[in-house]
Amino acid sequence: MSIQTELTVSHTSTVTPDQIDELGHMNVRWYGANAVAATTAMCERLGIGSPALHSTYTRHHHEQMEGNQLEVRSAVLAEGDHLRFFHELRNQANNDLAATFVHEVEHPLLEMTGIELPAYGQARSIDLGIDRLASAPSLDELRSRGLATRLERTVTTEDSMDADIVPTWLTNNLIWGGERPDGETDWIQDTADGDRVAFASMETRLRVHRPVAVGTRIQTFGAIIALGTKISHDLNWVFDLDTDELLAVAETVDLAFSIPNRRSCEIPPEVREREEARLHPDLAD
């Protein structure tokens, strides 16, 4: 039996200009890319090949800016139905904690002693005990409630970064890519009081049912299951329209963020009105 009782560096990177989004910090996609690279490295170290990644949990702690040197520290977790890894992404210069991750891969537990999940890596608002794939509403139910968040479309190589199959870490492209039914393209709200507000991701859980090939016809649906003073708790589902099969579910907890002030803020009234129209708390169960 092998033993891993502490975190070791599994990946390093630099925040580049193309990774900065309209909020002025590294986009959530690239936090995930660092973690996926770390999972790949850990699987290689363990000599288990490249098992599919089917579940991720991400908790964002501090934003990272262009030029920051980052490193991922990783370990095998002690328990779970499948092999799981814990990763923490830190700024090398000041040890600032950027994000923590739990990745579960399609591989049995190994005969080794792993670590317990640290308290700072545990979920805050997302219940990891709920199987969002199993509890998802049907495609017909989502259609009947008018919850489409994107128009029907076909998966392209832009979604997959030129691969034939969309990598798990790019599943968010399937959920948030494409055209919105209302035709809007801007996700930043200019408010009546002169502020500029958007939602910043604080926690995300992604469950993937099966790989998605380029050419698959898909549509995304979404609902808010809880709405607080500053927080929106959402579920998003993407379906294969040729088979009516659920492909993936993303559960997110997002924080209203004032871009000029670079801090959290209350959800503005004009944004809250729009969000309340999508509020379906019964879909939380």
| Nearest by Cα to 237 from 122, 143, 164, 167 | 143
Q: How confident is the model at residue 151 (pLDDT cuts 50, 70, 90)?
A: very high
The amino acid sitting at 123 is A
Is 188 in the same domain as 220?
Answer: yes
Distance of CA 251 to the CA centre of its chain: 8
pLDDT tens-digit series, residues 43-71: 999 999 999 998 999 999 999 999 999 99
Given this model, what pLDDT does residue 116 score?
A: 95
* 3-state DSSP assignment of residue 277: coil
- Do 91 and 154 reside in the same domain of the chain? no
Q: Is the pLDDT of residue 4 over 70?
A: no
- 43 contact partners, CB below 8 Å, separation of at least 6: 49, 50, 51, 105, 107
Mark whether 38 and 107 lie in a shared domain. Answer: yes
The residue type found at 57 is: Y
**Which CATH number fits the domain that encloses residue 279?**
3.10.129.10
Residues 197, 117 within the same domain: no
CA distances from 132 to 126, 137, 207, 223, 265 (A): 11, 9, 7, 13, 29
112 and 180 in a single domain? The answer is no
* Confidence tier at 1 by pLDDT (50, 70, 90): very low
Together in a domain, 30 and 111: yes
**What is the reported pTM?**
0.91
Which domain, by its residues, includes 78?
Answer: 1-122
In which residue are the tokens 């939380």 written? 284
**pLDDT tens per residue, range 185-228:** 788 899 999 999 999 999 999 999 999 999 999 999 999 999 99
The count of structural domains within the chain is 2
pLDDT in tens, 134-150: 999 999 999 999 999 99
Q: Are residues 103 and 128 in the same domain?
A: no
* One domain, residues 173 and 87: no
